Copies of this chain bind each other. A is one copy, B any other.
Amino acid sequence: MSQIYDRVALIGLGLIASSMFWAMKRGGLVGEVTGYARSAETRDTARRIGLCDRVCDSAAEAVEGADLVVLCVPVGVMGAVAAEIAPMLKPGATVTDVGSVKRHVIEAVSPHLPDNVFFIAGHPLAGTEHSGPESGFAELFDNRWCLLVPVDGTPEEPVERLRHLWEGMGSNVETMDADHHDLVLAVTSHAPHLIAYTMVGVADDLRRVTDSEVIKYSAAGFRDFTRIAASDPTMWRDVFLTNKDATLEILGRFTEELFALQRAIRTGDGDHLHDYFTRTRAIRRSIIEAGQDTDAPNFGRSHQVTK
């Protein structure tokens, strides 16, 4: 395969950027990859582990001459980073991002960019509970979806090129508009994360049950919540602050349903509970059939032998 971009700049070097680097190299998809991270410690780590062909000491230096610039920073600082790199962008370059919220990012980034670059917002639906430059791996995007949100008037060619890059990294790609993206993700990601964080916080707070009991007996269900509640705090703070309306709407729906189930428990309405619990089984089956999760019991976790 010929190279899709001659030079790519990764701004921010966490889980997603590092996985993109290894996935692009695995596929021989691009030429030189430069990288920049605000923290000197992260840049040192990147240099030590060979993450990026060249690690730069400023974002401006990293983007110079790049055909594709990927903003891999928390959603809350996308605008500031766009302003910083704007003067150095190569005419005709594509700028994209990997943020979990799209309306806000488009509004924060677009005004800073010159007319002669293309901004195509993006969001790979992939991740783990680990963060930082050393947590990335080439397979992260395999068979995961990547959603692209081109701004109005973007020509087809740069969108197709970016689509090919993501497909080369293993993803399935779809395009959608920003508001629909933000609603879909509020359901499939943002509300579930907030709920998981809440449940873990409640367990931590409960003085009548000791911490060690919560931890020892976590395999009864609770431990599943702790994985996504271990995700990066800065990233998630910014997601909730910038996808406020859709997240609050879904949480409102959630609370309504939860109250109905609590009422069924209080009044002893077993039929309501049984019907509800039967319906939710079918969704699991569909997710497995769609190749988006494993059918192995307990996610195929190995049984730990340490004590």
Q: Does A156 contact B (CB under 8 A)?
A: no
Known: A197-B261, A255-B255, A297-B128. A221 touches B279 (CB 8 A): no
Instruction: Judge whether A283 and B125 touch: CB under 8 Å.
Output: no
Give this chain's copy count.
2
Instruction: Judge whether B287 and A218 touch: CB under 8 Å.
Output: yes
Q: Which residue in B199, B244, B291 is a CB contact (below 8 Å) of A265? A: B244
Chain A 180-196, CB-CB to B under 8 Å as 1, else 0, gives 00011101111111111
Shortest beta-carbon distance from A302 to chain B in Å: 6
Q: Does A32 contact B (CB under 8 A)?
A: no
Give the nearest-CB partner of A243 in chain B: B265
Chain B residues, CB < 8 A from A208: 183
Chain B residues, CB < 8 A from A172: 307
Known: A215-B283, A257-B198, A262-B251. A227 touches B230 (CB 8 A): no
Q: Does A300 contact B (CB under 8 A)?
A: yes
Interface centre among A216, A233, A262, A306 (most CB of B within 10 A): A216
Q: Which residue in B139, B206, B253, B299 is a CB contact (below 8 Å) of A299? A: B299
